[in-house]
Structures are given as structure tokens and as C-alpha cells.
Amino acid sequence: MDHPIAPAGITRRRALTVTGGMLAGTALAAHAFPAFAGESQDADAIVVGHGLAGLVATAELAAAGRKVLLLDQEPEASLGGQAFWSFGGLFFVNSEEQRLMGVKDTHDLAWQDWLGSAGFDRGVADPAGQDHWAYKWAEAYVDFASGEKRSWLAGLGVQWFPIVGWAERGGGLADGHGNSVPRFHVTWGTGPAVVEPFEKKVRAAVAAGKAGFRFRHRVDGIVTTGGAVTGVRGAVLEPSGAARGKPSSRTVIGEFELRAPVVVVTSGGIGANHDLVRQNWPARLGTPPKAMITGVPAHVDGRMLAITERAGGRIVNPDRMWHYTEGLRNYDPIWPNHGIRILPGPSSMWFDATGKRFGTPDVPGYDTLHTLGSITASGYDYSWFVTTQKIIAKEFALSGSEQNPDLTDKNIWQLLSRIWQTPEPIEKFKKNGADFVVATTLSELVTGMNKLTGDNLIDLARLKAQIEARDREMDNPYTKDAQVMGIRNALTYIGDSLSRTAPAHKILDPSAGPLIAVRLNVLTRKTLGGLQTDLSGRVLNASGEPVPGLYEAGEVAGFGGGGVHGYRSLEGTFLGGCLFSGRQAGRAAAAATAT
């Protein structure tokens, strides 16, 4: 994947206020679609991919009076895509929730953190550079997150849990990677509540006969005429009753070609395609793991990247990706090889497969990709948390709407029960998950760890010495152990002390037990590179010129510009990237089709 040029006269402020609008609705693939536009075209715009970015783009097109077809190869049950399964975390700057928690945040601090994390280094000033438009998108996104993002969503009825999370705390320098302050706002209702307002808009347009869904329509090609995009073609797949997230049939029952002057591709990334992940794996992260688990449904296969590239689009930064290091094998999987991520607090001790403790910044919640590189450098595909019941009761959260029924179902009493008990989903994984070892003594724990992996890599004396050394650092309110410093730092933030950090204690304190070891697997998730776009979401070709009629949004565009995050994410920015890029592309496409 690489990079392009800016259209003359487009400023960031103008790009943020581009008008647009239309939505796409609710029907089965077999439902008839109204005769849109003239005889020469089927719609004013076609949106490919019915995830969050696609719904937002369709809603914007509909709001501007455009007639839209929204296509996806999956059945209606999967409307909303990956966003539905998410924890609903959103990145805001200087929000009401932050101020309530006593957090002082500013645009300048957020931009400092974004630049320190992104590390843009591929031709930012060069219109042909891979990071040229990524940098511009980053500027626009931080402006958005510091400005109207929250009020826009609040106006649509979205609300947030009042305690702001402190994710991805970084590598230890003020101008380096990581969030200087808590910015992870969990949506009340998690991922489904983020999807809901846009789904409602699209369904309303369908009910009014102004938009249409084409479920089970797999796009195999983007049609061009005279160098301009004029539609899409592909295969109609047989009807499927597959539940949300479950693999659906790929049996073809027909073909289609649909015509429109604008096509907006919002098809997601490559996370379920492990071959493609390994093909693009960067040398800086070591040898790709032989065994990984999957954080996204099987249809997130990246096929539209190549299809759009064949239509003239330029792929940039293909080696930038975001995979988690704290993955659990789901004991009750929805999609193949289904993994769930632990969102950890700062207190568990982290060891490689041989039982050697990681140093900073490879501690829970600090630097995801640095830790991933440390794991691959160990020569093994997994690592270990060694922790206590007291820690997991307070600090463990599981990513995913289905793993947080209290937040997803907006059940206040169930949420409050976290104060006096370990959340039920955590206890279920501890009891049923393949990656947990529970013991009353360290000797029993090591025996269980070696039995679980079958390789006898953990030496009791070595592990005990490292844990005891850390425990001695708990006797004073000051320490040379960087992780212990981090625990005490976290406890000074009211949000962490209330809900995300256990009181400081010794791992081998029997009153904090039982002891728990958790085998952590590499979990594939996000594509940080993608099709390069300008600030209107227009896809750029190898010469940096827009491909006429072709737009991209969401993960397929690296969440904007072919890589708005650069090398690393600050978290809470993936859903936000879909929202922002979907809105930008939808409004620009609507303006481009104005009569």
C-alpha cells in the first residue's frame, strides 16, 4: 500500500463541512428495488459493505436526497458488521465525561499523543508519499474528536458510561506513543448502540422507498467506463439464515450488474484472512505467528482491497496492522477460530512462554505492538499473565458486546454488581476457557501451566524468584519497578481506582488468591493501511489523482487516507474512524451527485 496528492482549494475546515446524504434500508436480497433515477442507472450511489462506515455513508447520502443501494455479501442478520460486536469504545478529547473524572485534556495534548503514536515517516510532505494523506486525515480526525464528534453523536441519542478508560498508555515518554490521559469512552449499550442510530436512518429510507438493501450480493468487480466508475458487478449468493457473525454459504445462484455514477466501498479489513495477514506482516514485528486466533468474523477477508486496486485505486501502508496480544480462545465460538481479547488493568505480571518476565513497555495496557514484537522475538506464539483473583475481579474486562451484557443491555443493577463480584463472563472464561489455570499454590500453578502447553518450559524456581522480587517492591509507596510505578500512578486516577485497578498487593499474598495463569494468544484484528483517499474519501490512483466516481471509507481505507493511525492506535479510534470517514465520503459523494 502507498500515497497521493491534495485537490486544489480543499482545506481541512471545508472538508469537515462537506454536505452529503442518503441512506439505505431494510429488505431481503430478493426484495424488489424501486426504479431509481433514469433508465441508464439503478441509483445515484452504490455503497459496498453494510458495516458501520457503510451505514453512515448511506445515511449521509440519504439525508442529501440521493437514492442509494447498499450491498453486502452477508445476510441481513449481519447488518452493522464488526461494529456490532465491539465494546463501543470511542476517543473523545476534553469531553464532559473526562471533566467529570477530573481529566484535563486538550486538542494540543491529543495531537501530541497522536503524532507520537503514529510515527508518520513515509513522505508526509510529498504528495506522492504514503503518509501524505494519512497525516491530513489525522489532523482532521483529532479536530473532529476535539470538536463536534461528541455533540453529533449525542444528538443522535448515543450516551456513554461516565467512567473514562485509560487505554494504550504507551512507552514512557511524553512525546512518544500512548494516551497521556484517559480518553476511552465506553458507549452505553456498547457496539450495538453505536450502530443503532445509523441503522434506523437507513431502514427509514428503505421504508420510504428511497433506498434499498441488496443482501447476499457479492461484488466481484467495479465497473468502469471511459476511466470513470459506473457501477459494480458480481454474484448473487443463495439466501442464508446464518445468525449474526456465523459463516454464510458462498453458493452462487445468479449474477448482477448495477449502475450508478458513484460507488463507495466500505468493506472492512483483512483480519480473518490469516494468509493475507502473514503476507503483509512487517519484519519489524518479527516472524508472524504460526498460530493465531481471530477477532473478526470470517467474511472480513480483504477481498475488496484487490478488487478496488484493479479499478485503479492505490493501496498504501499494507504492512501496518493492529493485532492484540491478550487473546483468549472462545469456549463458545461464533465464528471460526473465534478469539476474545482481555482488556487488562495494569497489575498482572506478564511473562513470555519460557517464564521470563517482560520489561517495560511490555506491561498490561501500555504498548500493544511493542509487546507483540517481544512475543514473536521469544520464538513462541503465546505468552502468560500470572495474576490473582483479586486482580481479575477488578481489572479484567473482555472486549465485545456479547461479553458485557450489563453494558450492552443497559442493565444498571447488573453493572453495579461488579463492585462486589467478578463479572460473570470473566468467571465463565475462568471455568470453561482453554487458557486458564487456577491454583492455590505457585507450585500447582506451574504444574498446570506446563500441562496446558505440554512443553514444560516454565521453571518453578525461576518464576518464583521473579514474582518474589516484584512483591518486595510493594513494601514501600515508592519503587524502582516500572510496572509497580504504573499501578500506583493508575490508582491516583479516580476512574481507575473505582473500576479498573485493584488495590496494590503482592501476587503471592494468599488473601488475594487463588493464583491464576492465563495463556495469551495473538488475536488478529485491524488493518491500519488501505486504499489511499483524499479528505473527501475519493480513492486516489498511482499518480495521486482521484479515480472518478470511486470513494472509500472505514477500515478498507485505513480508516481514512490509507492509514490515519500511522503505525499505532490510541484505541477508541477504530469505530470513530468508521464514523468520520463514512460521514466524509457520504457527504462528498452526495455533493458530487448534486443536480
Q: Are strands 293-294 and 515-527 parallel, antiparallel or unpaired?
A: parallel
Given a cut of 90, whether residue 159 has pLDDT beyond it is yes
pLDDT tens digit string along 530-557? 999 999 999 999 999 999 999 999 999 9
Locate 586 and state its grid cell: 457520504
Residue 288, pLDDT score:
97
Query: Is the pLDDT confidence value at 419 over 60?
Result: yes
Q: Look at residue 3 in the predicted model and tell me its pLDDT.
A: 33
Burial 267-292 (b: 16+ CB within 10 A, else e): bbbbbbbbebbeebbeeebbebbeeb
Q: Does an H or E element contain 520, and which?
A: strand 515-527
Tell the residue number behind the cell numbers 479498573, with chain if given: 500
Instruction: Examine residue 424 and state whether it is found in any structural domain, yes or no.
Output: yes
| First-to-final CA distance of the chain | 35
pLDDT score recorded for residue 42? 97
pLDDT on residue 452: 98
As a whole number, the mean pLDDT across the chain is 93
For the cut 90, the answer to whether the pLDDT of residue 7 exceeds it is no
Does the pLDDT value for residue 26 go beyond 80?
Answer: no
What is the per-residue pLDDT across 114-138, written as a single tens digit (0 to 9) for each?
Answer: 999 999 999 999 999 999 999 999 9
Please indicate, yes or no, if residue 149 is contained in any of the structural domains.
no
Is pLDDT of 2 > 60?
no
Q: Express each pLDDT in 564-591 by its tens digit.
A: 999 999 999 999 999 999 999 999 999 9
The pLDDT tens digits for 274-331 are: 999 999 999 999 999 999 999 999 999 999 999 999 999 999 999 999 999 999 999 9
The CA-atom distances, in angstroms, between 151 and each of 95, 154, 250, 254, 358 are: 10, 5, 41, 45, 41
Q: Provide the pLDDT for residue 416.
A: 87
Residue 491 lies in a domain: yes
Question: How remote is the C-alpha of 105 from its chain's centroid?
Answer: 23
**Contact status, residue 572 vs residue 44, Cβ threshold 8 Å:** no
User: How would residue 409 be classed by pLDDT, with cut points 50, 70 and 90?
Assistant: very high
Whether the CB-CB separation of 578 and 52 falls below 8 Å is answered with yes
In a domain, 120, yes or no: no
Q: Is residue 538 part of a domain?
A: no
Range of the domain at 514: 323-523
Q: How many domains does the chain have?
A: 1
- pLDDT beyond 50 at 24: no
Give dist(CA 369, CA 471) in Å, integer.
27
Q: Name beta bridge partners: 233.
A: 221, 257
Identify whether 232 is part of a domain. Answer: no
Q: Does the pLDDT of residue 511 top 90, yes or no?
A: yes
Asked whether residue 455 is domain-assigned, the answer is yes
CA 545 to chain centre: 29
CATH of the domain at 516: 3.90.700
CB neighbour class for 432 (10 Å; exposed up to 12, middle 13-18, buried from 19)? exposed
Q: What is the mean pLDDT of residues 344-373?
A: 98
Check residue 538 and give left, alpha or beta (phi > 0: left; psi -120 to 50: alpha). Answer: beta
Instruction: Examine residue 586 and state whether it is found in any structural domain, yes or no.
Output: no
Grid cell listed for 594: 448534486
Q: What does residue 266 show for φ and ψ, rounded to 5 degrees?
A: -135, 55
Distances (CA, A) of 237 to 1, 81, 296, 491: 30, 18, 21, 53
**How confident is the model at residue 21, as a pLDDT?**
31
The strand ranges marked E within 128-251 are: 184-186, 211-215, 217-225, 228-237
pLDDT tens profile 184-224 = 999 999 999 999 999 999 999 999 999 999 999 999 999 99
What is the C-alpha to C-alpha distance for residues 568 and 367, in angstroms, rounded to an integer?
9
